[in-house]
Amino acid sequence: MPDLMRVVVVDDQALFSAGLGMLIEAQDDMECVGTAVNGREAVRLTEDLRPDIILMDLRMPVVNGLEATKQILSGGVADEAPRVIVLTTTSHDDAVYAAFRAGASAFLTKDASPETVLATIRDTHAGLGLPSGVASVGVVEEFMRRTDSAANDATLDKLTPREREVFVLVARGLSNAEIADAVYLSETTVKTHVRAVLQKLDLRSRVHVVVFAYENRLIGR
């Protein structure tokens, strides 16, 4: 039997947090190993429990979700940091973009359906695609329209030509299967290239690739 996905829920609204915990516990492939009501508790729980996934509310007292995400993903909490899915009342929130920059893997609005929540957790854990792909890219595009920066193609010098090709497709929100079809490779080979892109560019997630690409004006020009 495969290991269960270990999930921590962080939200200052006890009823909402309990509901997510019950939803997770009802699944055969995941378990809720802990809950926290603020970012400080979230950092402590991550140190103690080493979860695979953290559902992290952005707006909380004591330490907010953005700061907690930065601390958890900075490398100071665990050698292998969990993947963070941020929770927000609206996607039109600069804090969502900031969380992506900090290395968060996905976001969920609090009115998301149970099916969407579970699918996002599973997709994020698997790392096979960009959870909420179109919406995630849209968050980055919206923020970058308000900024001004020059193109910096030299940032991809570390990548092979094939890795550059895969990088651009990931940045456009394509899944591994879609990339495999586009460049005539197996999904296993695509996954290897994606892993190399993340390592060489020191990026934490697929959505971090999107942020990196737009900030360096490598797409959307």
pLDDT in tens, 37-90: 999 999 999 989 999 999 999 989 889 999 999 999 886 444 477 999 999 887
Beta bridge mates, 35: 9
- Determine the pLDDT at residue 37: 93
- Residue-wise pLDDT for 16-40, tens only, equals 999 999 999 999 999 999 999 999 9
pLDDT for the residue numbered 11: 95
pLDDT band at 145 (very low <50, low <70, confident <90, very high): low
Per-residue confidence (pLDDT) for residue 92, from 0 to 100: 67
CATH 3.40.50.2300 fits 5-126, yes or no: yes
Least confident of 87-101, 122-136, 158-172: 122-136
pLDDT tens digits, one per residue of 191-202: 899 989 988 988
The CATH class given to the 143-215 domain equals: mainly alpha
Instruction: Give start-end residues of each CATH 1.10.10.10 domain in the chain.
Output: 143-215
The pLDDT assigned to 77 comes to 42
Closest CA to 6 of 42, 33, 45: 33
> Alpha-carbon distance 45 to 5, whole Å?
16
Residue 137 pLDDT > 70:
no
Which residues lie closer than 8 Å to 205 by C-beta, 6 or more apart? 83, 103, 104, 105, 106, 127, 198
Task: Delimit the CATH 3.40.50.2300 region(s) of the chain.
Answer: 5-126
Q: Are 153 and 218 in contact (CB under 8 A)?
A: yes
Residue 2's pLDDT band, with cuts at 50, 70 and 90, is low
